[in-house]
């Protein structure tokens, strides 16, 4: 199937059992959990070299070695255990190195970015298992377990990415991506349709426009490195009918822990969010407009926003008033327009995803006056009984929340942000190279290549545009038709 190609070059990279060259990938390999220990795992030919650069010494393979983790300036980031598993006796069959740190999410993220600065690339979802597969390291049971994990992890990651893109960041990155696309439409059209009467940009204009995008990207990078525009952490939405005690619950949770990070009114008229650190895990609670059938325009808008919040949430706390007679859960959910009970929708992913995120709370236990167990099981769903007024049972709720969110914290939120920054950096580097090609070599086709590369990096954040869609843009912008 292959043929000779005199342009292909072989670099001096290592080759593995499959005979294929690979690069080195890195990712946070562990859930945060309550212990707060995080592992950064590297896999690939450079794994050992990068490990040596970070801990400053070589270590004995397969022995846990205590070491300080240093940044490029030699500053200590953390102290923990380092391990090295030489190929092929490792999880992926490649050289694998692990850094077991003691720091919280922020330190682990710094450690990961340290690995990236030494030449590793951020692993894509499922990439470790893909490599393990290629090196015949996966057995059937493992493969199935990993398939399940990818199922849930990709849904979580998608939510985290969607959320981190909200607000200003989303607007700005969309703007830059749009400008890159428009420039590509011109450049590609001038390459593919040189004979058409198209008012193409002159080379000077092209380079000027590209330069403007570079400045915008730089600004965007500064803001996102500072975390100004990106919002991470777990997002819990408190939802339910009006007057079931949602706001009281929020107040109660806020009071439970004194480490309030920020408290600000939400962008919506009726949503209020509070970011809280519960036992070291940053969590945002969102109080929403009560759900019910109404014709009031303002209230309808609030309800619409509640539904949007629910879509983006990692977990939905559905609050019900225990002092009144409630309908069956499914009926109530349908009444609130949260699920669709029609037959064709009963088995959809959306529905099982919704139930997977649902946490049921019965409020106003103080009014009942009975000593109900704090957690009981109704159907498949566990229910937590509380009184937001007296605070009874709220500690159970906090425990439950921490258990639920503990796993996701670092793996999802931080890597989503790290990935965005990586992508923006990639786009910037490509654009700068392209501009220099255009200015020094007048090489339009190389500029086009770099511009495509920058567009791809933006696509990693926003979704990719196929070459056919780009052609569609060209045909709708220019009248082409020889």
Partner 1 sequence: MSDQQYYDVIIIGGGHAGTEAALASARTGASTCLISQNIETIGQMSCNPAIGGIGKSHLVKEIDALDGVMAKATDRAGIHFRVLNARKGPAVRATRAQADRQLYKQTIRGFVENQDNLKLFQQTVVDLLIVNGVVKGVKTQLDVIFHANSVVLTTGTFLGGLIHIGMESHTGGRAGDPPSNSLAKRLRELPFRVDRLKTGTPPRIDARSVDFSQLEEQPGDNPRPVMSYLGSIEQHPEQRMCHITYTNADTHDIIRKNLKRSPLFSGKIDGTGPRYCPSIEDKVVRFADRDQHQIFIEPEGLNTQELYPNGISTSLPYDVQIALIRTIKGFENAHITRPGYAIEYDYFDPRDLNFSLETRFIEGLFFAGQINGTTGYEEAAAQGLLAGSNAALKAAGKPLWHPRRDEAYLGVLVDDLVNQGTNEPYRMFTSRAEFRLLLRQDNADARLTQMGRELGLVSNVRWDIFCEKQKKINELTQMLAEFKIIVGTDLANKFNKITDVKISKDSDLLTLLKRPEVNAQHVMKLIDSPDYNLVGEQVEIQIKYQGYIKRQQAEIDKIDRQEQVVLPPELDYLAMEGLSNELREKLAYVKPPTLAKAGRIQGITPAALSLLLIHAKKIRDMS
What is the CA 376 to chain-centroid distance, rounded? Answer: 33
SS3 243: coil
Member of 88, 102, 127, 166 binding partner 1 (CB under 8 A): 127
DSSP string for 256-315: H-S-EEEEEE-SSSS-EEEEEEETTEEEEEEE-PPP-----HHHHHHHHHHHHHHHH-SE
Query: Burial level of 129, CB count in 10 A (0-12/13-18/19+)?
Result: buried
Is the CB of 126 or the CB of 280 nearer to partner 1? 126
Member of 14, 64, 143, 328 binding partner 1 (CB under 8 A): 143
- Tokens for 365, please give them: 């236990």
Q: d(Cα 380, Cα 30) in Å, to the nearest integer?
A: 28
Is the CB of 162 or the CB of 222 nearer to partner 1? 162
* Residue of 30, 33, 2 whose CA lies nearest to 280: 33
Q: Taking a C-beta distance cutoff of 8 angstroms, is the pair 206, 213 a contact? A: no
- Binding of residue 194 to partner 1 (CB under 8 A): yes
- Tokens for 126, please give them: 């499922």
Within residues 15-54, the interface with partner 1 by CB under 8 A covers 18, 20-23
* Residue of 462, 467, 438, 466 whose CA lies nearest to 450: 438
To partner 1, the closest distance from the beta carbon of 288 in angstroms equals: 27
- Tokens for 181, please give them: 């696309």
* Residue of 311, 335, 315, 330 whose CA lies nearest to 384: 315
Q: d(Cα 138, Cα 129) in Å, to the nearest integer?
A: 8
Is the CB of 217 or the CB of 448 nearer to partner 1? 448
The angle, 0 to 180 degrees and rounded to 10, between the axes of the packed helices 140-164 and 297-312 is 140
How many Cα atoms occupy the beta-carbon half-sphere of 417 within 13 Å?
A: 25
Which residues partner with 217 through β-bridges? none
Member of 75, 140, 295, 297 binding partner 1 (CB under 8 A): 140
- Binding of residue 162 to partner 1 (CB under 8 A): no
Is the CB of 192 or the CB of 395 nearer to partner 1? 192
| Angle subtended at Cα 27 by Cα 23 and Cα 31, rounded to the nearest 5 degrees | 155
| Angle subtended at Cα 325 by Cα 319 and Cα 329, rounded to the nearest 5 degrees | 55
Member of 37, 52, 193, 307 binding partner 1 (CB under 8 A): 193
Residue found by looking up tokens 């500064």 in the block: 222
Single out the segment in contact with partner 1 by CB under 8 A; choices: 37-45, 46-54, 140-148, 323-331: 140-148
Is the CB of 348 or the CB of 378 nearer to partner 1? 348
To partner 1, the closest distance from the beta carbon of 472 in angstroms equals: 7
Binding-site string for partner 1 from residue 336 to residue 355, where x marks contact by CB under 8 A and - marks none: ------------xx------
* Residue of 187, 183, 188, 224 whose CA lies nearest to 461: 224
> What letter does residue 33 receive in the DSSP assignment?
T
To partner 1, the closest distance from the beta carbon of 89 in angstroms equals: 20
To partner 1, the closest distance from the beta carbon of 34 in angstroms equals: 27
Is the CB of 125 or the CB of 280 nearer to partner 1? 125
- Binding of residue 380 to partner 1 (CB under 8 A): no
Member of 133, 256, 354, 355 binding partner 1 (CB under 8 A): 133
Is the CB of 330 or the CB of 445 nearer to partner 1? 445
To partner 1, the closest distance from the beta carbon of 482 in angstroms equals: 5
Is the CB of 157 or the CB of 319 nearer to partner 1? 157
Within residues 417-446, the interface with partner 1 by CB under 8 A covers 440-446
Which residues partner with 68 through β-bridges? 79
- Binding of residue 126 to partner 1 (CB under 8 A): yes
To partner 1, the closest distance from the beta carbon of 407 in angstroms equals: 17
Is the CB of 168 or the CB of 445 nearer to partner 1? 445
Member of 150, 201, 372, 375 binding partner 1 (CB under 8 A): 150
| Angle subtended at Cα 456 by Cα 451 and Cα 459, rounded to the nearest 5 degrees | 130
Member of 60, 76, 197, 370 binding partner 1 (CB under 8 A): 197
To partner 1, the closest distance from the beta carbon of 470 in angstroms equals: 6
Q: Taking a C-beta distance cutoff of 8 angstroms, is the pair 40, 101 a contact? A: yes
- Binding of residue 88 to partner 1 (CB under 8 A): no
To partner 1, the closest distance from the beta carbon of 146 in angstroms equals: 6
To partner 1, the closest distance from the beta carbon of 44 in angstroms equals: 12
Residue found by looking up tokens 């425990």 in the block: 399
- Binding of residue 381 to partner 1 (CB under 8 A): no
> What letter does residue 111 receive in the DSSP assignment?
H
The residues, any chain, with a CB within 8 Å of residue 326's CB and separated by 6 or more, are 320, 332
Is the CB of 177 or the CB of 303 nearer to partner 1? 177
- Binding of residue 283 to partner 1 (CB under 8 A): no
Is the CB of 143 or the CB of 171 nearer to partner 1? 143
Q: Count residues contacting partner 1 (CB under 8 A)? A: 68
Residues near partner 1 (CB under 8 A) are 1-9, 11, 18, 20-23, 124-127, 129-130, 133-134, 138-140, 143-144, 146-147, 150-151, 153-154, 157, 188, 191-197, 348-349, 440-446, 448-449, 452-453, 466-468, 470-472, 474-475, 479-482
């Amino acid at each position: 199937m292959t043929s000779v190609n005199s342009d292909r070059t072989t670099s001096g990279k290592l080759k593995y059992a499959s005979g294929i060259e690979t690069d080195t990938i890195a990712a946070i390999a562990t859930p945060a959990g309550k212990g707060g220990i995080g592992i950064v795992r590297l896999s690939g030919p450079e794994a050992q070299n990068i490990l040596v650069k970070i801990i400053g010494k070589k270590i004995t393979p397969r022995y846990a070695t205590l070491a300080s983790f240093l940044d490029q300036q030699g500053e200590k980031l953390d102290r923990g255990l380092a391990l090295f598993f030489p190929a092929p006796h490792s999880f992926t069959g490649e050289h694998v190195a692990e850094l077991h740190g003691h720091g919280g999410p922020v330190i682990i993220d710094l450690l990961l970015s340290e690995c990236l600065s030494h030449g590793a690339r951020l692993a894509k979802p499922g990439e470790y298992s893909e490599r393990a597969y290629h090196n015949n390291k996966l057995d059937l049971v493992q493969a199935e377990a990993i398939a399940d994990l990818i199922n849930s992890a990709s849904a979580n990651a998608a939510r985290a990415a969607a959320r981190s893109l909200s607000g200003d960041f989303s607007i700005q990155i969309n703007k830059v991506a749009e400008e890159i696309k428009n420039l590509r439409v011109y450049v590609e059209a001038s390459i593919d349709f040189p004979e058409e009467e198209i008012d193409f940009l002159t080379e000077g204009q092209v380079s000027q426009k590209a330069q403007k995008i570079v400045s915008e990207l730089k600004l965007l990078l500064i803001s996102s490195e500072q975390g100004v525009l990106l919002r991470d952490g777990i997002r819990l939405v408190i939802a339910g009918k009006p007057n079931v005690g949602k706001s009281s619950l929020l107040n109660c949770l806020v009071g439970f822990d004194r480490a309030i990070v920020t408290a600000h009114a939400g962008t919506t008229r009726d949503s209020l969010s509070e970011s809280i650190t519960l036992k070291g895990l940053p969590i945002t609670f969102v109080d929403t407009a009560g759900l019910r059938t109404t014709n009031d325009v303002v209230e309808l808008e609030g309800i619409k926003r509640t539904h949007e919040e629910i879509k983006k949430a990692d977990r939905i706390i559905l609050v019900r008033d225990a002092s009144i007679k409630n309908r069956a859960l499914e009926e109530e959910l349908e009444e609130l327009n949260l699920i669709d009970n029609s037959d064709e929708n009963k088995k959809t992913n959306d529905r099982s995803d919704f139930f997977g995120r649902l946490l049921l709370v019965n409020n106003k236990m103080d009014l009942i006056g009975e000593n109900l167990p704090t957690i009981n099981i109704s159907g498949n769903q566990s229910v937590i009984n509380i009184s937001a007024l007296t605070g009874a049972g709220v500690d159970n709720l906090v425990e439950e929340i921490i258990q639920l969110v503990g796993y996701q914290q670092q793996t999802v939120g931080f890597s989503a942000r790290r990935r965005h920054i990586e992508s923006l950096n990639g786009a910037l580097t490509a654009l700068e190279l392209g501009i220099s090609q255009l200015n020094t070599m007048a090489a339009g086709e190389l500029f086009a290549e770099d511009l495509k590369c920058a567009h791809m990096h933006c696509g990693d954040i926003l979704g990719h545009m196929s070459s056919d869609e780009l052609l569609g843009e060209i045909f709708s912008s220019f009248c082409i038709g020889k």
